[in-house]
Amino acid sequence: MTTATATRTHVAEVPTRRKAFDWGQVRTYIQAAIILVWCLLPAYWMIVTAFREVAYTYDPTFWFTHVSLENFRTVFDESLGNRFGQALLNSLIVAGITTLIALVVGVFAAYALARLNFRFKFLVLGFILGASMFPGVALVTPLFQLFTNIGWIGTYQALIIPNISFVLPLTVYTLTSFFREMPWELEESARIDGCTQGQAFRKIILPLAAPATFTTAILAFISAWNEFLIASQLSNDQTKTVTVAIASFAGSEPMQEPYTAVMAAGTLVTIPLVLLVLIFQRKIVAGLTAGAVK
Amino acid sequence: MNVQLPSNDMGVEHMSNRKFSRMTYPLAAASVLALTLSACAGGGGGTGGGAGGSDAEANLDGRGPITYVQGKDNSNVVRPLIEKWNAAHPNEQVTFKEQTDEADQQHDDLVQNFQAKNANYDVMSVDLIWVAEFAAKGWLQPLKDKMAISTDGLLKATVESSTYNNTLYTVPQTSDGGMLYYRKDLVPTPPKTWDEMMSMCSIAKENNIGCYAGQHAKYEGLTVNAAEAINSFGGEIVDNSGKATVNSDEAKEGLGKLAEAYKDGNIPAEAITYTEEEGRIDFQAGKLLFHRNWPYVYKLATTEASSAVKDVLGLAPLPGMSGPGASSLGGHNVGVSVYSKNKATALDFLKYIISEETQRFYVTQGSLAPAMEKLYDDPQLVAQLPYLTTLKTSIENAVPRPVTPFYPAVTKAIQDNAYAAMKGEKAVDSAVSDMQSAMEAAGAK
Amino acid sequence: MSTDVTKKAPTTEAAHHMPGRESADRKQVTQGRWASVLLAPSLILLGIVIIYPVVNAIIMSFQKDSGLDPATGFFVEGGPAGFENYTHWLLQQCNGVPCPPGTLGAQFWDSFGVTFFFTAVTVALETVLGFWMAVIMARSFRGRSAIRAAVLVPWAIPTAVTAKLWFFIFAFQGIANQLFNTQILWTGSEWPAKWAIIIADVWKTTPFMALLILAGLQLIPDEVYEAAKVDGASAWQRFTLITLPLVKPALMVAILFRVLDALRMFDLPYIMTQGANGTSTLSILVVQQIRQGFNTAAALSTITFLVIFIVAFIFVRFLGANAVAAASTGGKKK
């Protein structure tokens, strides 16, 4: 078989390199440019606003004008009670642990669902899905009371456990569908070829599963990172996450909307996240898939 | 759902059952746990019945550390205040719990903690529109007998907003009233009545700018503006006993004025999307002749670099039917939770917060209008904050927004129907009568 | 951990135990045992957070909201309600009369329709756009990783910021009107408000679709395409006969979860319009009702839950979300 890497596959219309001028490639670049503009234009506006003086918040000039760093200073200003650094750390802890646990637990469940025969499978699948059907806004009040009774308000687990349950259904379903598509028989043949089960898993299954697992991890991490409802009610000053911290920004006058500070915080939170994902994608996935058998 | 049983299933029926019970055991355990806890929590919405009776009697002499809960401290006035208190009261330290900047989230946070009988929420800042609701749920400590506190020297309207069912439940901390901002360069003398203001709209047309805007998007601000129109023309939304009384000719006339102005274009079309900030931006950019807003605009419009109206900013009381209009009252009150363990300390802290010294600090540091009457006539303050005189007129003529424990439903009834009336989707008469029925359906009858 | 799982894979173990039984039976039993061990952590975690609130909500939904005692001015417990809270929403009855305009009860069926409208339009657009993005991202060209990073940006910005950003963009004085030289009241009239929310939602969540579909595409081996090319299949045939069917399981999971999420849409419409101008979703109604009375809100949550359950059921049962259906037949490879 070919190298099992993230880049090994191509979809229909793979451009051929024989022609002198490659129209297929040009079409790809044009479409890529459209995607780029669609995804980044609103984000560009966020960044422009983040760098704008508060007095010119509503200035609709498309370019960077009235540039200032005051919004970024506001974001970190502890004398205003904006403990953004602490909030970033909290978000990392909550989203990181959530992703880790959800992934481990989800891989177990998905393996069982994709590879094992047992009764009531459909019931289990239905129950897992059912967790994504209740309006999230209606979960907060009962959870608040539950966690108050057991003294969990203001602890990390009060944020992590609900978050796990929010991302777990998606994690289990995506992993199940990917696991089902994996060529498990390759594992068998590798073992016939003399690999141990561990080797077969590491060299065949893991590289194949890596892109899908990684995608699932990104999706889980980002949804935990962005969770607001639970965090706003079940955290305290010490465990407040970035989304809550952003919602606590305020203008310097009552009623004044802190758009520029919110956009600055949005910029600060998003760019490292995207870079982090990129680095992970390159180093880890590439590392995992490098050892793949030919 | 579609349970596809494996084909060889029949032979292992009993095994399957065992398997099932194993799998479901954790689930069953979780639900038993849940039900047990449910019994302890006492459910979601209801209150412990009555006046929160025994809770309101308990811990009246308690002294010790307390927590003060308030929304985002925009102007950074609360922290210094608490530091000062803590320096003087080493054994009764106050911790500041800062909520978010959104009023809805502050409300929900308070409700959650009251429902959970959280003893760590001792003293809280309460938007005046929530006082009746929290009092009727039995969550606020009645400020009488041992907990009595003097309200002498506080503006009458603000004390009314602190009172429910003839009992004082909170004390006013800050006040707020709507004022009319106008362009001094285009309008030499400000209009005294609504009709006069409308007649001046020709000036706006000549200068190619919008005439008047308040807050007309469908949110709490529209309740404020619609209530001002209704009250200014002699209408009333709910009476003293909490009964809806909006269905009157006066109310129809008031709301009709707003709807008519929007239809005529005297209120520009885009104002239907305006909250405080969009209106202020338009006014500051010189695109509005008249603008109804709160005192905070004064500082920004006179100091912000982008403001085009710095030198031509005029300020007047809201125009009414034949004189000053009836502003809706804004502001925040402070109350004590019935579940607090240290109510004696809480009461002292309340007194400290409404003291003259604190209110002076609030208004100079943070544009937070005081609730204490005499500060509005203080020559030093007036020199520093020229809007105080106008604001006093506004607050003296102010009507608290409907004082009713059903406030969320009442404001919804006003917003939905006033919005439809302004946009011309519904006749003013039926909008007002629908308001009445919607409030009655919610219980205000 | 995964290594463990594989080592103890049932097929290898079954033969050593329980002699005298038919081997298929033994396999089934061991697999079932393993399945319960592997599934238990997930089910417990979901159970803790979901079962308590749901059971709680269902119980509360049969209680009346507390009412005001006119004698004391205090709220008192409402007592049992039977199905009154449910008929309040479904029949839009307020104390025995039709709910007047300006009450939440009068909005139920409107919100119901709006929610389904938003779901249908946003999920359809997100699927098409997401597929397109995934197909482009799966091609090899220079700068591909830049596109992958860019696609992540809308999804990575916290919703609280996204909603404010779009509110700001669609303000009358905002950049949208400025850029296109229009004077649209984006949040002040019905269809522009709906489209503003749809645009914001599609922008935000298409990356979710694109990434899931991309991961599905990456599972398709190259050889399949090469073989098809040798057989003379056109690009379109390769897409409809290979890409689409092979990516379908991943696609269906992505669509299913988007549908479940969209049916509970809250933040974007709440921050952008507060539900004005025909943009009030069922979740917005729940939040507003929680402030007016928790028990009536609990009934609405339960109704929403049932509605979503029915949609998911139809989806899985009849629309061939067969990643799920096929999974229930066990680890059979296509």
Name the domain count of chain B.
Answer: 2
pLDDT tens sequence across B303-349: 999 999 999 999 999 999 999 999 999 999 999 999 999 999 999 99
User: What integer pLDDT is reported at residue A133 of this predicted model?
Assistant: 87
CATH code assigned at B150: 3.40.190.10
The answer, for A123 touching chain B at a CB cutoff of 8 Å, is: yes
Judged against a pLDDT cut of 60, whether residue C18 lies above it is answered with: no
Same domain, yes or no: B388 and B410: no
Q: Which of A30, A71, A78 is nearest to A52 (CA)?
A: A71
pLDDT tens sequence across B184-212: 999 999 999 999 999 999 999 999 999 99
B75 to A252: CB separation less than 8 angstroms, yes or no: yes
Strand boundaries in C38-188, DSSP class E: 67-69, 74-76, 93-94, 97-98
Q: Which of A96, A101, A78, A87 is nearest to A231 (CA)?
A: A87
Chain C residues with beta carbon closer than 8 angstroms to that of A46: 157, 161, 165
Report H helices in C231-331.
235-238, 244-262, 267-273, 282-292, 294-318, 322-327
C325 to B420: CB separation less than 8 angstroms, yes or no: no
Q: Residue range C192-220: average pLDDT?
A: 91
Judged against a pLDDT cut of 50, whether residue B33 lies above it is answered with: no
What percent of chain B clears pLDDT 70, i.e. is strictly above it? 88
B200 token code pair: 């001046």
List, in order, residues 6 or more apart from C207 with CB less than 8 Å away.
Answer: A39, C130, C133, C151, C152, C153, C154, C155
SS3 B50: coil
User: What integer pLDDT is reported at residue A131 of this predicted model?
Assistant: 82
Task: Considering only the C-alpha atoms of chain C, give the largest distance between any 2 of them, rounded to a whole number of Å.
Answer: 87
User: What integer pLDDT is reported at residue C319 of this predicted model?
Assistant: 62
CA distance B378 to B383: 9
Judged against a pLDDT cut of 90, whether residue B82 lies above it is answered with: yes
Domain containing residue B357: 53-176+330-396
Contact at 8 Å (CB) between B386 and B366?
A: no
What percent of chain B clears pLDDT 90, i.e. is strictly above it? 77
pLDDT tens sequence across B221-254: 999 999 999 999 999 999 988 899 999 999 999 9
Domain A81-248: give its CATH architecture.
Orthogonal Bundle (1.10)
Same domain, yes or no: B183 and B210: yes
B247 token code pair: 């269905």
Same domain, yes or no: B270 and B295: yes
CB pairs < 8 Å spanning A and C: 377
Q: Which of C194, C210, C308, C297 is nearest to C256 (CA)?
A: C308
Banded model confidence at residue A289, pLDDT cuts 50, 70, 90? low
A134 to C50: CB separation less than 8 angstroms, yes or no: yes
The pTM for the full model equals: 0.87
- Residue B32 falls within a domain, yes or no? no
| Nearest chain B residue (CA) to A151 | B118
SS3 B389: helix
Neighbours of A94 (CB within 10 A): 25
Same domain, yes or no: B348 and B423: no
A145 to B41: CB separation less than 8 angstroms, yes or no: yes
B79 to A81: CB separation less than 8 angstroms, yes or no: yes
Report the residue from B15, B218, B434 with minimal CB separation from C276: B218
| Chain A residues 225-264 with CB within 8 Å of chain B | 232-233, 236-237, 244, 247-258
Banded model confidence at residue B5, pLDDT cuts 50, 70, 90? very low
For chain C, the average pLDDT equals 84
Banded model confidence at residue B416, pLDDT cuts 50, 70, 90? very high
C222 to A10: CB separation less than 8 angstroms, yes or no: yes
Domain locations in chain A as residue ranges = 81-248
- ipTM of the prediction greater than 0.95, yes or no: no
Q: Which residue has the higher pLDDT, A115 or C40?
A: C40
Chain C residues with beta carbon closer than 8 angstroms to that of B417: 101-102
Q: Residue range A182-211: average pLDDT?
A: 77
A135 to C140: CB separation less than 8 angstroms, yes or no: no
- Residue B14 falls within a domain, yes or no? no
- Residue B183 falls within a domain, yes or no? yes
Report H helices in B63-161.
78-88, 103-115, 131-136, 156-161
The answer, for B21 touching chain A at a CB cutoff of 8 Å, is: no
Same domain, yes or no: B324 and B335: no
- Residue B17 falls within a domain, yes or no? no
User: What integer pLDDT is reported at residue B405 of this predicted model?
Assistant: 93
Give first-to-last CA distance, chain B, whole Å: 48
Banded model confidence at residue C24, pLDDT cuts 50, 70, 90? low
Distances (CA, A) of B158 to B131, B267, B391, C300: 12, 30, 13, 37
- Which range, of A17-31, B300-314, C265-279, averages the lowest pLDDT? A17-31
Report the residue from A112, A168, A218 with minimal CB separation from C35: A112
Q: Looking at residue C95, what DSSP letter applies?
A: T
Chain C residues with beta carbon closer than 8 angstroms to that of A173: 253, 256-257, 323-324
Task: Region of B4 please: left (phi>0), alpha (psi -120 to 50) or beta.
Answer: beta
Q: Mutating which of A44, A180, A219, A293 best tests the C interface, going by the most C Cβ atoms within 10 A?
A: A180
Q: Which residue has the higher pLDDT, C78 or B274?
A: B274
Q: Residue range B284-307: average pLDDT?
A: 94
For chain B, the average pLDDT equals 87
- In one-letter notation, the amino acid at residue B174 is T
Q: What's the 3-state SS for chain A?
A: CCCCCCCCCCCCCCCCCCCCCCHHHHHHHHHHHHHHHHHHHHHHHHHHHHCECHHHCCCCCCCCCCECCHHHHHHHCHHHCCCHHHHHHHHHHHHHHHHHHHHHHHHHHHHHHHHCCCCCHHHHHHHHHHCCCCCHHHCHHHHHHHHHHCCCCCCHHHHHHHHHHHHHHHHHHHHHHHHHHCCCHHHHHHHHCCCCHHHHHHHHHHHHHHHHHHHHHHHHHHHHHCCCHHHHHHCCCCCCCHHHHHHCCCCCCCCCCCHHHHHHHHHHHHHHHHHHHHHHHHHHHHHHHHCCCC
C71 token code pair: 């004698």
Banded model confidence at residue B283, pLDDT cuts 50, 70, 90? very high
Chain B residues with beta carbon closer than 8 angstroms to that of C76: 49-50
User: What integer pLDDT is reported at residue B31 of this predicted model?
Assistant: 38
Task: Region of A273 please: left (phi>0), alpha (psi -120 to 50) or beta.
Answer: alpha
- Return the half-sphere exposure (C-beta side, CA atoms, 13 A cut-off) of residue B205: 9
Contact at 8 Å (CB) between C64 and C295?
A: yes
- In one-letter notation, the amino acid at residue B103 is A
Same domain, yes or no: B117 and B70: yes
Contact at 8 Å (CB) between B60 and C82?
A: no
C-alpha triplet C298, C299, C305: angle, nearest 5°: 90
Contact at 8 Å (CB) between B73 and B47?
A: no
Q: What's the 3-state SS for B351-362?
A: HHHCCHHHHHHH
Compute chain C's Rg from CA coordinates: 25
Q: Residue range C227-250: average pLDDT?
A: 86
User: What integer pLDDT is reported at residue C299 of this predicted model?
Assistant: 95
B116 to A120: CB separation less than 8 angstroms, yes or no: no
A207 token code pair: 């590289």
| Chain B residues 172-201 with CB within 8 Å of chain A | 176
Residue B202, classified by CB atoms within 10 Å of its CB into exposed (0-12), middle (13-18) or buried (19+), is exposed
- Which range, of A4-8, A92-96, B279-283, C122-126, averages the lowest pLDDT? A4-8
A246 to C160: CB separation less than 8 angstroms, yes or no: yes
CA distance C116 to chain B (A): 22
- Residue B58 falls within a domain, yes or no? yes
Judged against a pLDDT cut of 60, whether residue C13 lies above it is answered with: no
The answer, for B277 touching chain A at a CB cutoff of 8 Å, is: yes
- Set out the domains of chain C in order of their start, with CATH numbers: 108-327 (1.10.3720.10)
Judged against a pLDDT cut of 90, whether residue C72 lies above it is answered with: no
Judged against a pLDDT cut of 60, whether residue C8 lies above it is answered with: no
Judged against a pLDDT cut of 50, whether residue C173 lies above it is answered with: yes
- Which range, of A180-189, C76-85, C196-205, C222-231, averages the lowest pLDDT? A180-189
- Return the half-sphere exposure (C-beta side, CA atoms, 13 A cut-off) of residue A193: 12
How many helices (H) and strands (E) are present in chain C, helices listed first?
17, 4
C2 token code pair: 């995964």
Report the residue from A120, A127, A257 with minimal CB separation from B277: A257
Chain C residues with beta carbon closer than 8 angstroms to that of B434: 100-102
Give first-to-last CA distance, chain C, whole Å: 26
User: What integer pLDDT is reported at residue A284 of this predicted model?
Assistant: 59
Banded model confidence at residue C261, pLDDT cuts 50, 70, 90? very high
Judged against a pLDDT cut of 70, whether residue A118 lies above it is answered with: yes
- Residue B24 falls within a domain, yes or no? no
Judged against a pLDDT cut of 70, whether residue B14 lies above it is answered with: no
Q: Residue range B392-410: average pLDDT?
A: 91
Same domain, yes or no: B191 and B243: yes
- Subunits touching B (CB < 8 Å, at least 3 pairs)? A, C
SS3 B196: helix
CA distance A172 to C233: 35
CA distance C64 to C81: 5
pLDDT tens sequence across C89-146: 999 999 888 999 999 999 999 999 999 999 999 999 999 999 999 999 888 888 888 8
- Return the half-sphere exposure (C-beta side, CA atoms, 13 A cut-off) of residue B441: 25
Same domain, yes or no: B306 and B436: yes
- Residue B43 falls within a domain, yes or no? no
CA distance B424 to chain C (A): 12
Same domain, yes or no: B112 and B161: yes
- Residue B209 falls within a domain, yes or no? yes
Give first-to-last CA distance, chain A, whole Å: 6
B44 to A254: CB separation less than 8 angstroms, yes or no: no
User: What integer pLDDT is reported at residue B38 of this predicted model?
Assistant: 38
Q: Residue range C24-50: average pLDDT?
A: 82
C174 token code pair: 């905002």
Banded model confidence at residue C320, pLDDT cuts 50, 70, 90? low
Distances (CA, A) of B102 to B106, C26, C271: 6, 60, 11
Q: Residue range B66-75: average pLDDT?
A: 90
Same domain, yes or no: B135 and B220: no
Same domain, yes or no: B183 and B170: no
User: What integer pLDDT is reported at residue A181 of this predicted model?
Assistant: 75
For chain A, the average pLDDT equals 83
Report the residue from C1, C52, C253 with minimal CB separation from A174: C253
Contact at 8 Å (CB) between B340 and B118?
A: no
Banded model confidence at residue B24, pLDDT cuts 50, 70, 90? very low
- Return the half-sphere exposure (C-beta side, CA atoms, 13 A cut-off) of residue C105: 27
| Chain A residues 56-75 with CB within 8 Å of chain B | 56-59
Q: Which residue has the higher pLDDT, A210 or B164?
A: B164
Q: Looking at residue C169, what DSSP letter applies?
A: H
User: What integer pLDDT is reported at residue C23 of this predicted model?
Assistant: 61
